[in-house]
Homo-oligomer: A and B are copies of this chain.
Amino acid sequence: QAQTTPLSFYGTMDLAVGKLSSQPPGPPNAPVTSVNGVHNGGVQTSYFGLRGTEDLGDGLKAKFQLESFLRADTGASGRFNPPGPPQDPLWSRAAWVGLEGGFGELRLGNNTNPSWLANVFTSAMGSNSLFSPSFRQQYNGSTRGYMAQDTGLSNSLSYSSPMLAGTVVTVNVQASEGTGSGNNLNGSVVHRAGPLLLALAGARVQHVPSPDPAGALDEQFVMLGAHYDLKVVTLFAQYTDFKDKLGNIKIRTPHIGLTAPVGTGQVQLAWAEGKTSGAASGKRTTTSAGYLHPLSRRTQLYLMVGTDKVSTGTAKSYVTGIRHTF
């Protein structure tokens, strides 16, 4: 157990004060609720992690990563306050070991979904789970996203190709492991060419990853997204086509946004509108704006505001806070 290469410890502490509103997960047509106070993750969910790399020679590397989400407002491990989505395991953000070489990278464990990374790359508000309109509408967090899948898959095997002509293909497969349903698949093709990033992503979800309660599911989606750096302004666009085949529901979600410098800071604007058809119908419109003021490369002060028009009203949120990356 002699330690020949140093481990890295790292993470983000992001806390804000203000008002957060959303239609909570649970029964349909639940009223919008608001909480005033101190909130975790106004820009990014707080976490800490450790990782290591060992050079095995001939371009081969062994790598591992362990990352743990935390609610920095209470000190609790994981992302969600009960009641709500199931509680996270300790190493909820990542837990994998793998090999990297000329063949690409192969990882086993609790792996981040490539479709989620494609979303982050092509969203003006990146991984902001509270304000990014595409995150709020799509992901199964505290804001009643429509997808059963989470941002990662436990019990999974993940493969990323080497970059070829600016293109990387990533696939994540999660075995059903006795849940009595099919495997889950998640994948992306990400192409980078100068100022352009183009991403095609998709998933088939046939069971809900542990530790969520199991149940028969058949969800599929495809997302096409891009960002384009105009030097001053960067533009972002996504289109997601989602089907819940058992529930006979389709949801189509265009999502656009931009980031622009203002002095040393950055303004973020984003909008998404999900239209549901099939066994249910409806429209959800989410608009957010943010300003990040850097105190350093690692530390920013920020202001975030957003509205989220759902079936029972409009959830209005605004927070100001600090994100510190360590």
Binding site for B on A (CB under 8 A): 1, 3-4, 7-10, 13-17, 33, 35-38, 48, 50, 52, 54, 56, 60, 62, 64, 66, 70-77, 81, 88-99, 108-110, 154-157, 174-178, 210-211, 295-296, 298-299, 321-322, 324-326
Contacts and interface: CB of A to CB of B under 8 A. Distances in A.
Given A108-B38, A324-B54, A66 B90 contact: no
B97 A296 contact: no
Given A56-B299, A175-B38, A48 B66 contact: yes
Contact of A75 (B17, B37, B90): B90
Nearest to A4: B298
B110 A91 contact: no
Nearest to A1: B10
Given A62-B295, A299-B62, A97 B15 contact: yes
A10 B66 CA distance: 12
Given A75-B94, A75-B95, A38 B296 contact: no
B1 A325 contact: yes
- Interface majority SS on A: helix, strand, loop or mixed? strand
B295 A56 contact: yes
15 contacts: A7-B9, A9-B50, A13-B66, A13-B96, A17-B157, A38-B175, A48-B66, A62-B299, A70-B90, A72-B96, A73-B110, A74-B110, A75-B88, A75-B89, A75-B109
Given A97-B14, A324-B62, A90 B108 contact: no
A17 B174 CA distance: 11
Contacts of A98: 322
Contacts of A66: 13, 48, 70, 75
B73 A109 contact: yes
A16 B99 CA distance: 13
Given A75-B89, A75-B109, A62 B298 contact: yes
Contact of A38 (B36, B60, B72, B109): B109
A77 B91 contact: yes
Contacts of A210: 74, 81
Contact of A324 (B14, B64, B157, B174): B64
A97 B98 CA distance: 33
B326 A3 contact: yes
A72 B95 contact: yes
Given A9-B7, A91-B76, A154-B74, A178 B35 contact: yes
Nearest to A175: B37
Nearest to A209: B74
Contacts of A321: 108
Nearest to A89: B76
Contacts of A155: 37-38, 73-74
B109 A36 contact: no
B298 A54 contact: yes
Tell which of A13, A56, A99 has the most Cβ of chain B within 10 Å.
A13
A281 to B, nearest CB: 31
